Structure 1
Amino acid sequence: MSENSTSVSRQRDVAIPLLITCGCLIALLSFGPRSAMGLFFQPMTSANGWSRELFALAIAIQNLAWGAAQPFAGMMSDRYGTWRTLTLGAFLYSAGLLLMAHAETAAMLHLSAGVLIGLGVAFSSFSLVLAAFGRNVTPAQRSLAFGIGTASGSMGQFLFAPLGDYLIGSIGWQETLIIFSGIMMLIPLLAVALRGKSVHVPVAGQQDQNLKQAIAEAFKTRGYLLLTLGFFVCGFHVAFITVHLPPYIVDLGMDPALGAIALALIGLCNVVGSLISGYIGGRYSKSIFLSLIYIGRAIAIALFITIPATPVTVLVFAGVMGFLWLSTVPPTSGLVAVMFGPRYMGTLFGFVFFSHQVGSFLGVWLGGKLYDETGSYDAIWWLGIALGLAAAIVHWPIKEQPVARLAAAE
């Protein structure tokens, strides 16, 4: 090996740990405030006289805006680089949180908490971080790297849930949102380490393709369509529980602080769950593993709503769901990378994630709407069980193999 090659190799050995560290911190920060939105449910609706459906609709719009913008964020990252994309996201995110703190009308709430924060999360989310990881680590390392990145997002939930609860109780919900807004401006600094974009390296026997062709190929692939359909259910579960579990706990006559503790426990357990998921996804069938995760979710929800509720059952449910929370992300993103390679992963995972966010929109909005109409969350819990079983069926037949274009080259 030449001296120049050795130097490049050493630089890469230093750069990868730095990239992983900064990427994980970005995932932590971008996932933190949006995972704590449920803590603002009670104080904001009480202060402004809003219904649960109105606040839930704002968060539902946030999830939909996040999902709709995610493919474009992936395209921007793939074409113009990760740093520019994450910086744009940080400014949008910060502006949304700041305006949310001063929202006095439904329109302002929907614009700030809904559209701006949704766009901000899309352009600064962990999916862009995972795409950057996918471009820089070896195929054998990807699943574990995806697990580490996802776990970092969960750590954001673990940290921001108790932080938000403490700040709301001590200085007020408006000041808490302003502090969160300032924290988001750390993302552009950290994103410097993730500078770079998708660069194509020609491989003998492999057909080259542009972005449009890559998207067309993906939507003609049965496994990709099934994966996209199944990820809808993950979004439905996660968004509904994140936003509606705290008020549900209050409805059961328990201390509101238990809601923050439950969200934090979900985040903490998901750190472990995501790491385990990354390990398992690198060694066993990702599609079958996904089916088992969704079956586990359905069982956990069914037991939670049928067993008499106590603080202990709430915490047990939060812990179990935490292990199954974003453990879907490493095998889902891993399947995208296996099928199509890392070149356009930001874009292609963005479309899968859009389905996730459509599910998030319906989970949050239907939760508020059905509660206002019936005075109970029972219907939405049972719908979540049915969707979990359906997702298990959808993922089982997905084949973990590259598309014909890549398989022929290999």
Structure 2
Amino acid sequence: MSSAQPPRLSALQVLACGAAIVTLSMGVRHGFGLWLQPITQQMGWTRENFAFALAIQNLSWGLFGIFAGMAADRFGAFRVLLVGALLYALGLTGMALSPTPGLFALTAGVLIGAAQAGTTYAVVYGVIGRQIPAEKRSWAMGVAAAAGSFGQFLMVPVEGWLISSFGWQEALLFLGAAVLLIMPLALFLREPGFVGGAAPRREQTILQALREAFGYRSFQLLMAGYFVCGFQVVFIGVHMPSYLKDNGLSPQVASTALALIGLFNVFGTYAAGTLGQRLAKRHILAFIYLARAIAIGIFLAVPLSPASVYVFAAVMGVLWLSTVPPTNAVLAQIFGVAHMSMLGGFVFFSHQIGSFMGVWLGGVLYDQTGSYDIVWYISIALGVFAALINLPVRESPIARGPQRVGAAA
């Protein structure tokens, strides 16, 4: 194969189709917290049963994300997106029909987690990294992340309406059919450089790229920060509806709050991606994590009311997924785009380990103490920790060849 760069897809085509896929995939998953009480009450399960399945989902998403990233780097995003869409439909159908917590963990957990690995950021960002010029890459990633946020704003009220109008099982079956729309959208992300299943030539093998990344301090710090991101957002996304209902607020307040998070995250992720073209990305990340800790602390300190919930949701929305564009952009900046989906998958796996801990600990500690207070306080402490560890990240491209070892050190 020639070493010449393959022709790029148009930026509009990449952004429009990639954003639509992320909107649908992320929009569906952001509403899963709305199913916690209907499912546990009808099936006679504990909150830990539900939380464990969602924790498995996040861990599965992270683990399969590594292999989805490898496959997308090797064969292109198109094939990975097709498989991911099918798994998503199967997982949602199984989630609706599972009679036991074990089968629920398999379908809502493993299958949907694997589906999300193949239909969300790591795969779509790989296409953006390869097809969008470097000078616009951070901005383009912000657009895609904003699309995922718009999906939350759009889909969470729709999911709440489906549950109230048709029942929680039927709502999941409707969503299972809807995610199949990812398949025709994927047709427009077929990259010219992957014709016939062959990837463009690279200067590094997979093992060389992994050895380089895991030996580089900044990569380790980014992974640690992303762990905190996962812990915070998934704990809040899954458990906040029940936290609000426990404190006497209506389910409509929770649905509105989740929708507000999605709406304001549209602005937050776009702003983070745009600012990443001009400011140091490590400073953007440090600010986001510290601001989250402050926002949670204030939310716990003031009297709980619909107004305080909506203000908190708006502030957290601005900060919600705004870590995604600068984190992925700095990965591409340091290591290049040849193995970007795979490296992004490993960083995201750390995010999902944090997600597992956040959602699972929320269920366990609630069942043991009758309160979410401990997990809220852990979230504050982790936010301060993540802000501090992102400050030393080095954003300059890694030196390869004779100078690589010294630069990595």
Per the normalisation by structure 2, the TM-score is: 0.94
- What pairs with 1:347-366 in structure 2 (closer than 5 Å)? 347-366=342-361
- 2 CA distance for matches of 1:117 and 1:286? 31
- The aligned counterpart of 2:83 is 88
Which residue of the other structure, out of 162, 175, 181, is the alignment partner of 2:170?
A: 175
Which residue of the other structure, out of 351, 365, 381, is the alignment partner of 2:376?
A: 381
Shift of residue 239 of structure 1?
0.5
- The aligned counterpart of 1:327 is 322
- The aligned counterpart of 1:205 is none
- Deviations 1:39-85, CA, capped at 9 Å, x for gaps: 00110001001111110000000000000111100000011111100
- The aligned counterpart of 1:4 is none
Given that 1:235 and 1:358 are in contact with CA atoms closer than 8 Å, whether structure 2 keeps it comes out as yes
Which residue of the other structure, out of 235, 244, 248, is the alignment partner of 1:240?
A: 235
- 2 CA distance for matches of 1:241 and 1:145? 27
- Pairwise CA RMSD of aligned residues? 1.7
Count of aligned pairs: 395
Residues 210 and 305 of structure 1, relative CA distance in 2, 3 Å threshold:
same
Residues 406 and 300 of structure 1, relative CA distance in 2, 3 Å threshold:
farther
Given that 1:30 and 1:126 are in contact with CA atoms closer than 8 Å, whether structure 2 keeps it comes out as no
- 2 CA distance for matches of 1:15 and 1:139? 14
Which residue of the other structure, out of 7, 21, 38, is the alignment partner of 1:26?
A: 21
- 2 CA distance for matches of 1:200 and 1:140? 21
- 2 CA distance for matches of 1:125 and 1:16? 18
Residues 407 and 19 of structure 1, relative CA distance in 2, 3 Å threshold:
farther
- 1 CA distance for matches of 2:13 and 2:334? 28
Partner AA of 1:105 in structure 2: T
Partner AA of 1:37 in structure 2: F
Which residue of the other structure, out of 238, 251, 259, is the alignment partner of 1:256?
A: 251
Identity of aligned residues (%): 48
Which residue of the other structure, out of 384, 389, 394, is the alignment partner of 1:394?
A: 389
- 2 CA distance for matches of 1:96 and 1:59? 12
Shift of residue 16 of structure 1?
2.4
3-state secondary structure, aligned to 1:238: helix
The alignment status of 1:100 with 2:100, answered yes or no, reads: no
- 2 CA distance for matches of 1:176 and 1:281? 38
Q: Could you list the runs of 4 or more consecutive aligned residues of structure 1 that deviate by over 3 angstroms after TM superposition?
A: 197-202, 406-409
- Deviations 1:88-124, CA, capped at 9 Å, x for gaps: 0011111000011111111111011111100110111
Which residue of the other structure, out of 135, 157, 161, is the alignment partner of 2:156?
A: 161
- What pairs with 1:207-226 in structure 2 (closer than 5 Å)? 208-226=203-221
- 1 CA distance for matches of 2:186 and 2:373? 43
- 2 CA distance for matches of 1:201 and 1:136? 16
Structure 1, 397-406 or 48-57: larger mean CA deviation:
397-406
Which residue of the other structure, out of 136, 143, 157, is the alignment partner of 2:138?
A: 143
Given that 1:103 and 1:109 are in contact with CA atoms closer than 8 Å, whether structure 2 keeps it comes out as yes
The alignment status of 1:370 with 2:350, answered yes or no, reads: no
Shift of residue 211 of structure 1?
1.4
- What pairs with 1:54-69 in structure 2 (closer than 5 Å)? 54-69=49-64
- 2 CA distance for matches of 1:324 and 1:260? 19
3-state secondary structure, aligned to 1:394: helix
- The aligned counterpart of 1:192 is 187
Given that 1:340 and 1:406 are in contact with CA atoms closer than 8 Å, whether structure 2 keeps it comes out as no
Structure 1, 122-131 or 88-97: larger mean CA deviation:
122-131
Given that 1:28 and 1:153 are in contact with CA atoms closer than 8 Å, whether structure 2 keeps it comes out as yes
Partner AA of 2:63 in structure 1: A
Shift of residue 33 of structure 1?
1.4
- 1 CA distance for matches of 2:402 and 2:298? 44
- The aligned counterpart of 1:289 is 284
- 2 CA distance for matches of 1:58 and 1:32? 19
- 2 CA distance for matches of 1:361 and 1:127? 18
- The aligned counterpart of 1:119 is 114
- 2 CA distance for matches of 1:30 and 1:97? 12
The alignment status of 1:344 with 2:358, answered yes or no, reads: no
Which ranges of structure 1 fall in alignment gaps of 5 or more residues? 1-7, 203-207
The alignment status of 1:152 with 2:147, answered yes or no, reads: yes
- 1 CA distance for matches of 2:342 and 2:401? 18
- The aligned counterpart of 1:3 is none
